[in-house]
């Protein structure tokens, strides 16, 4: 069972202290930024952005999100960060860029599917279809509760003819349309770790992954005991496979501040009790 933070902070601090280095992977929506009514309204608070900037100056730090890479980069605007958009289908860091082979080949399929999906959902108030280039999302958070099942059913029926190329992945009041290729956030994290540290990365760094949705669980499972997983609880999601849990999204900023202090203490050789 996961352990609650901050109660379990001394245990986590001890593991951070023993690690040869620490690499951070952070989800955006519901983690760094509160879930909002629309994707455009999910903004990064200035204190969280400052903490991210400070962390990324001394430790490899990646923000990994279902948002497009362009959208993610424009919202955060920190050049030292690594960025992973579309659940890791497209990633970049200082001096490098990567796109999963085969991801772009599904773009013509989405271009044919999305107008059909829009027509099917035209009469459903509150639905928003977001085209993210390599993927797309159908948001139904603003749909009346009694109509949500109908929206989900319509999306599934419309996408059914394309399931040889597209897979449908549920999230928090959203349905994700992704290329049917074997890739997820866990594989993206593993790719980055191998690129930065080589195949023996568990001997070189301790990855810490902070997320709030079922898409983040792929990373939790991939890292297993070689990493630290921290799940942000919400009324919509639970994560028994995480090592630690934060009680709500508002606890993320204090946790990042604590994390910055603990990691700074590593460089000083000592620090205050957690």
Q: Where are the domains of the chain?
A: 3-100+183-268, 104-179
Superfamily of domain 104-179: Trehalose-6-phosphate phosphatase related protein; domain 2 (3.30.70.1020)
What pLDDT was estimated at residue 238? 66
Query: For residue 218, what pLDDT is reported?
Result: 94
pLDDT at 38: 85
Domains 3-100+183-268 and 104-179 share a fold: no
Catalytic residue annotation: 27
pLDDT value at position 241?
80
Q: Can you give the pLDDT at residue 7?
A: 94
What are the pLDDT tens digits along the chain (274 aa)? 889 999 999 999 999 999 999 999 999 999 999 998 888 899 999 999 999 999 999 999 999 999 999 999 999 999 999 999 999 999 999 899 999 999 999 999 999 999 999 999 999 999 999 999 999 999 999 999 999 999 999 999 999 999 999 999 998 899 999 999 999 999 999 999 999 999 999 999 999 999 998 889 999 999 999 999 999 998 776 656 899 999 999 999 999 999 999 999 876 654 333 3
Confidence (pTM): 0.93
Pick the CATH number of 3-100+183-268 from 3.40.430.10, 2.40.50.100, 3.30.70.600, 3.40.50.1000: 3.40.50.1000
CA atoms within 13 A on the CB side of 269: 0
């Amino acid at each position: 069972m996961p352990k609650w933070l901050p109660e379990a902070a001394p245990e986590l601090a001890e593991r951070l202290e023993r690690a040869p280095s620490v690499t951070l992977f952070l989800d955006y929506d519901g983690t760094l930024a509160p879930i909002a009514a629309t994707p455009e309204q999910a903004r990064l608070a200035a204190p969280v952005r400052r903490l991210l900037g400070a962390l990324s100056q001394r430790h490899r730090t990646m923000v990994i999100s279902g948002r497009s890479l362009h959208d993610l980069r424009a919202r955060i605007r920190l050049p030292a960060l690594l960025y992973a958009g579309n659940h890791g289908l497209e990633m970049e860091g200082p001096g490098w860029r990567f796109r999963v082979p085969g991801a772009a080949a599904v773009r013509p399929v989405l271009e044919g599917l999305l107008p059909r999906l829009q027509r099917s959902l035209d009469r459903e108030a509150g639905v928003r279809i977001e085209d993210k280039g390599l993927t797309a999302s159908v948001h139904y958070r603003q749909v009346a509760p009694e109509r949500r099942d109908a929206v989900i059913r319509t999306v599934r029926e419309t996408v059914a003819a394309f399931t040889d190329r597209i897979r449908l992945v549920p999230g928090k009041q959203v349905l994700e349309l992704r290329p049917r290729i074997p890739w997820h956030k866990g594989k993206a994290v593993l790719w980055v770790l191998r690129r930065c540290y080589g195949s023996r990365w568990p001997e070189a760094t301790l990855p810490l992954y902070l997320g709030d949705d079922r898409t983040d669980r792929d990373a939790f499972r991939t890292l297993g005991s070689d990493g630290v997983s921290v799940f942000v609880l919400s009324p919509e999601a639970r994560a028994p496979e995480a090592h630690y849990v934060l009680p709500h999204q508002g606890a993320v900023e204090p946790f990042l501040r604590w994390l910055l202090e603990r990691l700074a203490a590593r460089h000083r050789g000592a620090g205050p009790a957690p």
